[in-house]
Structure 1
Amino acid sequence: MIAGFLGATYDWVKAAHLIFVIFWMAGMFMLPRYLVYHQEGLGDAAEEARWTDRETKLRRIILTPAMVIVWVLGVALALNAGFADGVPGLGWLHAKIALVILLSGYHGWAVGYAKKLARGRPTLSGKTLRMLNEVPALAVTLIVILVIVKPF
């Protein structure tokens, strides 16, 4: 049995998880907006270089490290809750993990699109890119509802 293995450190791990979720989400709200501005600045070499630099720093300093820490702490919390032990009543956690996997995929897509823009190869319209800005907000809204309400 793994459930409950965090013992007295549980609240500290949960607090750290939430702190790094906030960092990750801050970056996930910024990067898609950066992509819009970067794409609008294509054709101006100085502007393109500034956006590429900003996106790279955001990814290396905030986004990717925060996502990795969120995953490590989140897995520890899920195991502590009994996820691997088949504890009943964790449907909400399964749904949350599915959404976090999708959000992680979106993170990867956004980083990949930033790299496309750095090469001067946009593939989306500005309108589509703006609509994709809403993905993190929708995902985090659903995740928070699942965690707080635990509807199933």
Structure 2
Amino acid sequence: MSERQTAAGPGNKARARASIAIALFLALLAALFLWQPDNLYLWIKALHLIAVMSWMAALLYMPRLFIYHTDAAPGSEQSETFKVMEQRLLKVIMNPAMMITWVLGLYLAWRFYGFQGGWLHAKLLLVVILTGVHVLFARAVRAFGRDENTRSARYWRLMNEAPTLLMILIVIMAVVKPF
């Protein structure tokens, strides 16, 4: 019989795989900076977009977990499973993706745009707000972990929309550059 995914073994394996993936990502980044290809901007932008997509996927999935977790009885097997899922999503995907997004985004803003442009300032403000949503979700993971969630499923349904709305505005700022 296979080991339950909520057990420590699969969690450690997932953490190891995520660590290897992050290490490979960072090695690729280091190689690019050493190599200095003519199209470095495009490479950094591609890696930034990969990190953004990973971060957004996690930000869009986390409140869905909260909605279902809200309906689970504290201490139940279902609630304990959600705790593991939320913790792994936060630690293995959400946090690393956010950090990589920020580092590469700030590098692009500094190196290729000189932090100039109203669109860039607006985009950075929206990313700061998105990071605030991330922090709110991280705090909720800790509250659910202690069986202290005070929010309703309806609240989490509404919060599920926040990352989407921010993402739309951020993409418009980055692509259209309206000002």
Partners in 2 of 1:37 and 1:78 — Cα distance? Answer: 38
User: Do 2:68 and 2:153's aligned partners in 1 also have CA atoms closer than 8 Å?
Assistant: no
The aligned amino acid for 1:22 is M
Q: String of CA shifts for 1:54-97, please: whole Å, max 9, x gaps.
A: 011111111000000000000100002111xxx4xx10000000
The runs of 5 or more residues in structure 1 that have no matched partner are: 1-5
Give the match for residue 75 of structure 1. 106
Q: 1:20 aligns with which of 35, 46, 51?
A: 51
Per the alignment, in what secondary structure is the counterpart of residue 74 of structure 2?
coil
Partners in 2 of 1:127 and 1:91 — Cα distance? Answer: 36
Quick one: percent identity of the two aligned structures? Answer: 40
Count residues in correspondence: 142
Give the match for residue 30 of structure 1. 61
Give the match for residue 132 of structure 1. 159
User: Which consecutive segments of 4 or more residues in structure 1 shift more than 4 A?
Assistant: none
The runs of 5 or more residues in structure 2 that have no matched partner are: 1-35
| TM alignment of 1:116-131, pairs within 5 A | 116-131=143-158
User: Do 1:42 and 1:120's aligned partners in 2 also have CA atoms closer than 8 Å?
Assistant: no
The aligned amino acid for 2:100 is I
Q: Which has the higher contact order (CA 8 A, sep 6+)?
A: 1
User: Do 2:70 and 2:152's aligned partners in 1 also have CA atoms closer than 8 Å?
Assistant: no
Partners in 1 of 2:158 and 2:73 — Cα distance? Answer: 19
Q: 2:91 aligns with which of 49, 55, 60?
A: 60
Partners in 1 of 2:61 and 2:110 — Cα distance? Answer: 31
